[in-house]
Amino acid sequence: MAYLTVTDGVKQFTGFRALNGVSISVERGEFFTLLGPSGCGKTTLLRAIAGFNDLTSGSIMLDGQDLRAIPPHKRDIGMVFQDYAVFPHLSVFDNVAFGLKPRKVPAEQIKTRVAEALSAVHLQALAERLPAAMSGGQQQRIGLARAMVINPRLLLMDEPLSNLDAKLRIELREEIRDIQKRVDIATIYVTHDQEEALAISDRICVMSAGHIEQIGTPQEIYGNPQTLFVANFVGTLNTLADGEGRAKLLAELGISANAAHWTIRPERLSLLEAGQGAPSGAVALAGTISKFTYLGREAHVLVDTPAGALVVQVSNPALGAVRTPGEAVSVLVERSALMAFDADSKRLSL
Ligand code: ATP
């Protein structure tokens, strides 16, 4: 039995079904991320677990206990929000101690526990400061310390990094991941940022329009997407245009499957000089460069081919390795890189 399970969770708002039969299970100490576009129901699911918003139907069990029967403040769940929700008139220490007061923790213990929580988020030196003058990253560390200090049974985080700038976001996500592994508290983390989800999670649950598309490790989600939605949302995709060029390419690769959508990731394609041959299990598709986009650590080369316009991602493009529109090239397509999906957008095995 998993530590936390949500089974057949449904949330019906007036005129809108935000969760349509969602089931997840989270293990002890696991970092579990809900990933999906805006409006897919991530926050609704998180709030149902926290108890801010009850489900319409379905069950939520934590460590063998029916959570829906317990009021939010008795669930022992720590929560971190997008807007830091710190009290500006309270010192960093008092902000973190805040959650312990109603729990009737003796003053001496409050001191030790707050000190521990502040040291975990590297804020011990600032305990007496007021948060107003602190950076967004520091304020979010206060939020994290406050959520952890109660020794929660579960840590819930709703887009905690989205108000921070890109560089700090990367720094703090590494820190959150390290802290979570150290304190070993099962964590459910909400984000719409794919890269963040891949970097921080043990497992990712990809959601769309109130349902779950796929649950898996970052490697499974990115490397073995089970639906077209997941393949598109986590990473980028080329789609082969329906037509003779595609049919010929598939035939040359020895693929006879029938599929509605044929896709390939830009980083799984590479460029060959025009006329260069392909090794077995691959095809050299003749084409013409129509666009070159230099992005520093990679470049995107758009190539018009008989199977449609394909983006080829070139890693570490050498200085001066500019490709000019109009240039004739070949695109190396490996059989193993093709992903096929049926008309319902479900992955087909090849
Ligand atoms: P975001 O990243 O934008 O927060 P989300 O995936 O967290 O998106 P939710 O906040 O869970 O999405 O909302 C899911 C859907 O439910 C949205 O379409 C939202 O408009 C709708 N919704 C949320 N709360 C209510 C409500 N009280 N009444 C009606 N509809 C609601």
**CA atoms of 185 and 181, how far apart (whole Å):** 8
Phi, psi of 181, rounded to the nearest 5 degrees: -65, -35
**CA atoms of 66 and 253, how far apart (whole Å):** 53
Q: Where in the chain is the domain with CATH 3.40.50.300?
A: 4-233
Q: Which of 17, 35, 43 to mutate to test the pocket of ligand 1 (most atoms within 8 A of CB)?
A: 43
What's the whole-number mean pLDDT along residues 6-16? 97
In short, whether 9's Cβ falls inside 6 Å of ligand 1 is no
Parallel, antiparallel or unpaired: strands 211-216 and 347-348: unpaired
CATH class of 238-348: mainly beta
- What residue spans of 67-217 are helical by DSSP H? 92-97, 107-120, 136-148, 166-183, 194-200
Q: For residue 18, how far is its CA from the centre of ligand 1 (angstroms)?
A: 6
Phi, psi of 172, rounded to the nearest 5 degrees: -75, -30
CATH class of 4-233: alpha beta
Is the reported ipTM for this assembly greater than 0.90? yes
pLDDT at 59: 98
pLDDT at 132: 85
Tokens describing residue 145: 């310390």
pLDDT in tens, 15-64: 999 999 999 999 999 999 999 999 999 999 999 999 999 999 999 999 99
- Nearest-5° Cα angle at 169, 164 to 170: 165
Q: How confident is the model at residue 83 (pLDDT cuts 50, 70, 90)?
A: confident
Are 48 and 55 spatial neighbours (Cβ–Cβ below 8 Å)? yes
Q: Where in the chain is the domain with CATH 2.40.50.140?
A: 238-348
In short, whether 18's Cβ falls inside 6 Å of ligand 1 is yes
**CA atoms of 345 and 316, how far apart (whole Å):** 33
Q: For residue 49, how far is its CA from the centre of ligand 1 (angstroms)?
A: 15
pLDDT at 333: 98
- What residue spans of the chain are helical by DSSP H? 42-50, 92-97, 107-120, 136-148, 166-183, 194-200, 218-223, 228-233, 244-252
Closest residue CA from atom 28 of ligand 1: 13
pLDDT at 193 over 80: yes
